[in-house]
Structure 1
Amino acid sequence: MDNQLLPVLLLLLLGVSGLCGQRQGPEGPSEELPEESPGEEVPKEDGILLLSNHTLSLALQEHPALMVEFYAPWCGHCKALAPEYSKAAALLAAESAGVMLAKVDGPAEPELTKEFGVEGYPTLKFFQNGNRTHPEEYTGPQKAEGIAEWLRRRVGPSAIRLEDEEGVQALMDTRDIVVIGFFQNLQEQNMATFLALAKDALDMTFGFTDRPQLFHKFGLTKDTVVLFKKFDEGRADFLVDDELGLDMGDLSRFLVTHSMHLVTEFNSQTSPKIFAARILNHLLLFVNQTLPQHRELLADFREAAPPFRGQVLFVMVDVAADNGHVLQYFGLKAEEAPTLRLVNIETTKKYAPTGRTPITAASVTAFCHAVFHGEVKPYFLSQEVPPDWDQRPVKTLVGKNFEKVAFDETKNVFVKFYAPWCSHCREMAPVWEALAEKYKDHEDIVIAELDSTANELEAFAVGGYPTLKFFPAGPDRKVIEYKSTRDLETFSKFLDSGGDLPEEPAVSSPEPQANSTLGPKEEL
């Protein structure tokens, strides 16, 4: 047979009509594929693509690196993010970074929110190489430069390869903190672990090298990650374990610990890093920076810090600055400075020195050791008991009268722990008042409330607002946390049953706490 006829015969056997617009299967034509208009363009606003279920596929084809924000027009967190998201888009466009930013109106595109498991707004997902099935969840900052840097480290190298001393010096000259990985073999897993960590440590600049002359220059003979900094000790070395290799968690903790100043001044810029440092004990020195005698104390405070690095974070709080909320948290007044406080941010227990010991390096060290050896007892904030605390249907509890009222063996006590600024607490207030009014003539039932921002309890800590706890009568100090529907009918059933009610989803969750990443999401 003439070879030139073979292609024609093959096309006839396959059925040319089955190759256009439809897929031919064993059971006949399949459903038609969605068509896209030739030359169709995805709409833009402020340099950001506005996507729909129809245009997402087109955007993924055109942009190998695509960040998509799922938002809701009514979402307050989305509105706060919008200008930063636009600035990030402009930054990346100016750099020709090869990343496109996009938005999807989640409520208007239910198919997409279902496909990508969007449960709240804003939700950001990063797509690479047209892969629609496994986008990466965005976990970075909510500021423009942070968003841009997070994306840069995904489309480009997360660390710079260094070949000589000039390259190392040039990198160190540009930043206060530089992390350099010295690896004898760049193909081993240690290198991959280092680069993976560098993708998310956005506040540090990373480099790496395998050059023997650079090992020699910095006095190294084994694989080591070195943190160089323009303050305090100047350098900290993390030696890679020969047998176990480089552990990302251990290295991350090391970098966070050693990138902090020995003493960090508390302000709006440093507070996110302070709380993200994963150092549980914070020692705070309260001083008035306008007074020379107070400023002189910082030298002694800093002198005491090095032996506690990684165990205690040393923080200076200027009472003359806008730090009233910090003073309130510790129950302090500005005129009490200079003074020390130590807090464990996991247990929220606070400690104060006994007496008015002068603040020196020796006294600071002694105070820390005394706390860790159990020689100093924690203190708990409490307001004074109001004279009319029991005159209203809702009784007012404070730290000083809580134990006596809540654990009264003859009473069933139902307590709302609230914060004055909590919107959920304010919404629930009328129902709580109605409940107290309903049971005001029941001598064995007490409906009460406690402001947890001004009163602390030794028995337990309150983590969200409002928190509802029931203390049934009896000698065993039993505590039942209420987690059911927050309405008058269900509250009444709960009380009438003596605190026995099947658990149901709560109507509203505790007030979300701000964090240093993207921040809280508004639920669907």
Structure 2
Amino acid sequence: MAEWLRRRVGPSAMRLADAEGAQELIDSRDVVVIGFFRDLQDEDVATFLALAQDALDMTFGLTDQPKLFEKFHVTKDTVVLFKKFDEGRADFPVDEELGLDQGDLSRFLLTHSMHLVTEFNSQTSPKIFSARILNHLLLFVNQTLAEHQELLEGFGEAAPPFRGQVLFVVVDVGASNAHVLQYFGLKAEEAPALRLINMETTKKYAPAGGGPLTAAAVATFCHAVLSGQVKPYLLSQDVPPDWDRRPVKTLVGQNFEQVAFDETKNVFVKFYAPWCTHCKAMAAAWEALAEKYKDHEDIVIAELDATANELEAFPVHGFPTLKYFPAGPGRKVIEYKSTRDVETFSKFLDNGGELPAEEPTEEPMAPFPDTPANDSAEPKEEL
């Protein structure tokens, strides 16, 4: 708050008059942004200062001094990001015809202020998720193993050509990152492993085969995903041997289609998350419902852990999600949104997937975590 107020009351960028002052500013932070403008009354300068006012995690400077243009090898109006890592600096020349676009500059600074390779932890995860780079490539390694650490060099070598397209992230399976492993359907002993996720679609990709994770292999995989040559994978648990022995049948990704779209059955499915309190609260009612209808050969009561099993045709956005798949040809699906008790469930089933209009609707749900949380395996529930 103090920094926010300071930038509104005072200047949002430090005015630089000489090389000593400029170098002192550059040395003061890991990331420093300096605007080189020949005319400080230009409209582009106002755009630059407006951005600096809100970018509280960066330090800004401003100059119109020819000697500073010369010292830093700047020949035209340019915004330069200086950093103490990777390439050392990144230049954003101002378009002479279109001027300085604040949105484009903001994206440039956010992209280039990040390390080419970022280690995932509670401090870096907010910046990773706000990076506006849709594709994230994750290398899962055990940092305590020398042979895993050796992979980091090749991973970093592959990163520069994908700056702005793919965010390279290292996940230490030996740290508190079990939630990230779970999100990708991995176990710690499967490291080293490479996965790519598109943050907009949440589609996940894995390289084929088990070859060495060299710089060339990493680059080839990235190119293949970006060009649409790799199909996304869906998480699925193995089908339990006793999946159909209980009144509530256990569905996973591998047997879902076979059961849900059996034309001879009316199938009522609960999509749940193990951590969801709303799911736990209705568990007894779901078991009682299954017990009640266990002798009805045309009715199946089932459940599917949607955190461990993904269905391309049925994305789940909250827990619990209840869907009814009526018998007959076609792939008809009815979503249940009413009271979660045995009486109302029974009315719904006995009426062929419909309820009287006066029935109450919309019970609370817990949101589905679109991305792995940064500090807990149990995402916060919202009513």
TM-score (norm 2): 0.87
Q: 1:424 maps to what in 2?
A: 278
**Counterpart-to-counterpart distance in 2, 1:157 and 1:431:** 62
Q: 1:212 deviation in Å?
A: 3.2
Equivalent position SS for 1:199: helix
One-letter code aligned to 1:342: L
Q: Alpha carbons of 1:248 and 1:474: their partners in 2 closer, same or farther (altered >3 Å)?
A: farther
Residue 387 of structure 1: aligned partner: 241
Asked if 1 retains the 8 angstrom alpha-carbon contact of 2:366 and 2:381, the reply is no
Structure 2 CA distance for aligned equivalents of residues 500 and 376 of structure 1: 41
Matching residue within 26, 41, 60 for 1:172: 26
Amino acid at match of 1:406: A
SS in 1 for 2:34: strand
1:240 is matched with 94
Q: Which residue is 2:149 aligned to?
A: 295
Find the residue that maps to 1:399 and give its secondary structure. Answer: coil
- 2:363 pairs with 492, 504, 507, which one? 507
Q: Of the candidates 342, 356, 377, which is equivalent to residue 210 of structure 2?
A: 356
Aligned partners of 1:331, 1:372: CA distance in 2, in Å?
A: 22
What's the secondary structure of 2:366's corresponding residue?
coil
Which has the greater radius of gyration? 1
Counterpart amino acid of residue 166 in structure 1:
E
Selected match of 1:415 from 269, 273, 292:
269
The separation in 2 between residues aligned to 1:273 and 1:224, in whole angstroms, is 25
Per the alignment, residue 481 of structure 1 pairs with: 335
The aligned runs of 1:89-238 (5 Å cut-off) are: 147-238=1-92
CA contact (8 A) 1:197 1:252 kept: yes
Structure 1 contact 486–506 (Cα < 8 Å) conserved: no
Cα deviation for residue 224 of structure 1 reads 2.1
In the alignment, the residues of structure 1 paired with residue 88 and residue 349 of structure 2 have an alpha-carbon distance, to the nearest angstrom, of 62
Aligned match of 1:342: 196
CA distance in 2, matches of 1:457, 1:283: 22
Matches of 1:344 and 1:155 in 2, distance apart?
A: 40
More deviation in 467-476 or 482-491?
482-491
Q: Offset at 1:187? A: 3.8
The structural deviation recorded for 1:334 is: 2.5
Cα deviation, residue 304, structure 1 = 0.7
Deviates more, 1:490-499 or 1:403-412: 490-499
Q: Tell me by how many angstroms 1:458 deviates.
A: 2.8
Structure 2 CA distance for aligned equivalents of residues 500 and 242 of structure 1: 64
Q: Which structure exhibits the higher relative contact order, with contacts defined as CA atoms closer than 8 Å and separated by 6 or more residues?
A: 2
- Alpha carbons of 1:512 and 1:389: their partners in 2 closer, same or farther (altered >3 Å)? closer
Judge conservation of contact 1:349–1:379 (CA < 8 Å) in 2: yes
Change (3 A) 1:194 1:469: farther
**Aligned partner of 1:370: which letter?**
A
Change (3 A) 1:413 1:194: farther
Q: CA deviation at 1:403?
A: 1.3
Distance 1:410 1:463 in 2: 28
Matched residues, percent identical?
77
Partner of 1:468: 322
Q: How many residues align?
A: 375
> Matched residues in 1 for 2:347 and 2:150: separation?
62
For the 8 Å contact 2:337–2:363, the answer to whether it is kept is no
Q: Which moved more, 1:230-239 or 1:466-475?
A: 466-475
SS in 2 for 1:180: strand
Moved more, 338-347 or 424-433: 424-433
1:260 Cα deviation after fit: 1.3
Cα pair distance change 1:387/1:217, threshold 3 Å: same
Q: Judge conservation of contact 2:365–2:382 (CA < 8 Å) in 1.
A: no
Q: Please state how far the C-alpha of 1:488 moved relative to its aligned partner.
A: 4.4
**Structure 2 CA distance, aligned partners of 1:366 and 1:388?**
42
* Residue from 221, 245, 254 that aligns with 1:400: 254
CA positional deviation for 1:180: 1.7
Give runs of aligned pairs for residues 316-327 of structure 1, distance below 5 A.
Answer: 316-327=170-181
In 1, Cα distance between equivalents of 2:275 and 2:186? 20
CA distance in structure 2 between the aligned counterparts of 1:444 and 1:160, rounded to whole angstroms: 74
For 1:457-488, what per-residue CA distance to the aligned partner results, in whole angstroms no more than 9, with x for missing partners? 23233233222333233332233333444444
The equivalent residue for 2:103 is 249
Structure 2 residue aligned with 1:446: 300
Shift of 1:397: 1.1
Distance 1:210 1:497 in 2: 77
Q: Where in structure 2 are there 5+ consecutive unaligned residues?
A: none
Native 8 Å contact 2:236 2:310 kept in 1: yes
Give the 3-state SS of the residue equivalent to 2:250 in structure 1.
Answer: strand
Structure 1 residues without counterparts, runs of 5 or longer: 1-146
Aligned-residue Cα RMSD (Å) equals: 2.8
Q: Give the direction of change, closer, same or farther, for the CA distance of 1:416–1:161 in structure 2 (3 Å limit).
A: farther
Q: Secondary structure at the match of 2:301?
A: strand
184 and 452 in structure 1: CA distance in 2 versus 1, 3 angstrom threshold: same
Distance in 2, matches of 1:152 and 1:504, equals: 52
Q: Structure 1-normalised TM-score? A: 0.65
